[in-house]
Amino acid sequence: MIQIALAKDWKLENIEPYGDEDFINEANRQIADLILKKNQIKNSNVEIKRVKSPLQQQKVNLQNEDLNPKIICELIINFVSTIIYLHKLIFIK
């Protein structure tokens, strides 16, 4: 499914897998991984800043923490799982 979406140049964010819960979780994990890889390629050209003071170093460190891929991946997976759960509660009875 994901390979077809990539081949057709679809946005991965728009894919909504259906099936049993294990399949949905695995598909969402793979989608999140691919989105992160795509974003890491875009962010590979990040400007390296030369800091001149401890305060500037602290600011750069905080900015780097904001881009932590593991945290972003966990947030995406939790968000998608919550959306799926709410969808089931509202539409599937």
Q: pLDDT grade, residue 47 (50/70/90)?
A: low
Say if CB 15 and CB 26 are below 8 A apart. Answer: no
Percent of the chain having pLDDT more than 70?
Answer: 73
pLDDT of 61 strictly over 70: no
Distance of CA 58 to the CA centre of its chain: 26
Instruction: Tell me what pLDDT residue 78 has.
Output: 84
Tally of domains within the chain: 1
Query: Which one is predicted more confidently, 35 or 49?
Result: 35
The answer to the question of residue 59 being in a domain is yes
| Residues spanned by the domain of 11 | 2-44+54-91
Contacts of 38 (CB under 8 A, 6+ apart): 12
The answer to the question of residue 84 being in a domain is yes
pLDDT of 72 strictly over 70: yes
